[in-house]
A and B are shown apart, each in its own frame.
Chain A
């Protein structure tokens, strides 16, 4: 299935979770947050949250600013 990760389409296996996306991105374990279709997915739910086809995933971290 296709999902949109940080604005880019990605092909993932059906049943893929938020944790699978983070693994594919090689995301660090700390300092990041995830939104799925505009809602925050708490860290404790990353491995249980299955992505819907076409879902929009945003993976954010802190950068220099302000």
Chain B
């Protein structure tokens, strides 16, 4: 595998991690996931009802995509730890996207509860991928707690506002020794490319694709953007200059 994404002991060829929320139905979701070329995709844990069944899991299994359970909806460390343990039972994976949000209007991570939950889950043998604020200090603390990656937001979940504080993302990337995955806030392809240019190892997005007018096409666009951003990073961009520099010879 050329230039794989490595998280914990696993290698992924795709640097685009998808969420499944917001898709109108499973057929739309299937086409979007295939177009995205993703190998890792999040699901949420909820009470079983007779109607929903386990359709989304069956879909991911059929497509050969790894399911990454999240703890969406949890407000406290205790709730998140229980949800992660239930997900481990249900999905037979010790990987978890750890999400502990503070309130419904912002859906911003509650950093205190997040760090507490991360420590408990690492101690319990989980591979923890925490959804965090774009806080370079907290990112280090999460890494020190043993998280396998850190996943700072670009902007709040579902807003499509892109990366509001690119310098913070660069600060996080510059000191992290685990993968930094830009999670939340991506609105369109240029946001995903920017995340990769800033040095993120991967991008996690859902709404930007699932609620786009044409989810399949947007998924393909995101795939190209992640690839382009990664290539641009590896290629090494030119320094920015104040004054012009002619690209044609003077005579």
Given that A6-B47, A32-B90, A42-B89 are known contacts, is A64 also in contact with B29, CB under 8 Å in the complex? yes
> When the two chains form their complex, are residues B48 and A65 in contact, meaning their CB atoms are under 8 A apart?
no
How distant is the Cα of A27 from the Cα of B99 in the complex, in angstroms? 27
**New A-B contacts (19) at CB < 8 Å, excluding given A63-B45, A66-B99:** A31-B90, A33-B85, A33-B89, A33-B90, A34-B89, A35-B82, A40-B86, A40-B89, A61-B45, A61-B53, A63-B43, A63-B46, A63-B56, A64-B20, A64-B23, A64-B43, A66-B42, A66-B43, A66-B97
Q: Could you say which residues of chain B place their CB within 8 Å of the CB of A35?
A: 82, 86
How distant is the Cα of A2 from the Cα of B200 in the complex, in angstroms? 52
Could you show 21 A-B contacts with beta carbons less than 8 Å apart? Answer: A25-B48, A27-B48, A28-B53, A30-B54, A31-B57, A31-B58, A32-B90, A34-B86, A42-B89, A61-B46, A61-B48, A62-B44, A62-B56, A62-B69, A62-B87, A63-B44, A63-B45, A64-B22, A66-B72, A66-B99, A66-B206
> When the two chains form their complex, are residues B54 and A31 in contact, meaning their CB atoms are under 8 A apart?
yes
Contacts of A19-44 to chain B: CB distance below 8 A: 25-28, 30-35, 38, 40, 42-43
How distant is the Cα of A66 from the Cα of B23 in the complex, in angstroms? 11
* Closest Cβ neighbor of A7 among chain B residues: B47
Question: Any chain B CB within 8 A of the CB of A59?
Answer: yes
Q: How far is the CB of A60 from chain B (nearest CB, A)?
A: 5
Q: Could you say which residues of chain A place their CB within 8 Å of the CB of B238?
A: none
> When the two chains form their complex, are residues B86 and A60 in contact, meaning their CB atoms are under 8 A apart?
yes
Given that A6-B47, A7-B47, A28-B54 are known contacts, is A62 also in contact with B82, CB under 8 Å in the complex? no
Q: How far is the CB of B154 from chain A (nearest CB, A)?
A: 15
How distant is the Cα of A43 from the Cα of B88 in the complex, in angstroms? 11
Interface readout for A38-62 with B: 1 if CB under 8 Å, 0 if not?
1010110000000000000011111
Number of interface residues of A (CB under 8 A): 25
Interface centre among A26, A58, A59, A65 (most CB of B within 10 A): A65
How distant is the Cα of A43 from the Cα of B174 in the complex, in angstroms? 43
User: Which among B54, B82, B206 is the interface contact of A32 at CB below 8 angstroms?
Assistant: B54
User: Which among A28, A40, A62 is the interface contact of B91 at CB below 8 angstroms?
Assistant: A62
Interface centre among B42, B47, B58 (most CB of A within 10 A): B47
> When the two chains form their complex, are residues B42 and A58 in contact, meaning their CB atoms are under 8 A apart?
no
* Closest Cβ neighbor of B92 among chain A residues: A30
* Closest Cβ neighbor of B49 among chain A residues: A6
> When the two chains form their complex, are residues B48 and A6 in contact, meaning their CB atoms are under 8 A apart?
yes
Q: Could you say which residues of chain B place their CB within 8 Å of the CB of A42?
A: 89
Q: Could you say which residues of chain A place their CB within 8 Å of the CB of B82?
A: 35, 38, 40
Contacts of B11-63 to chain A: CB distance below 8 A: 19-23, 29, 42-50, 52-54, 56-58
Q: Which 5 A-B pairs have the closest CB atoms?
A: A65-B44, A66-B42, A33-B89, A33-B90, A31-B54
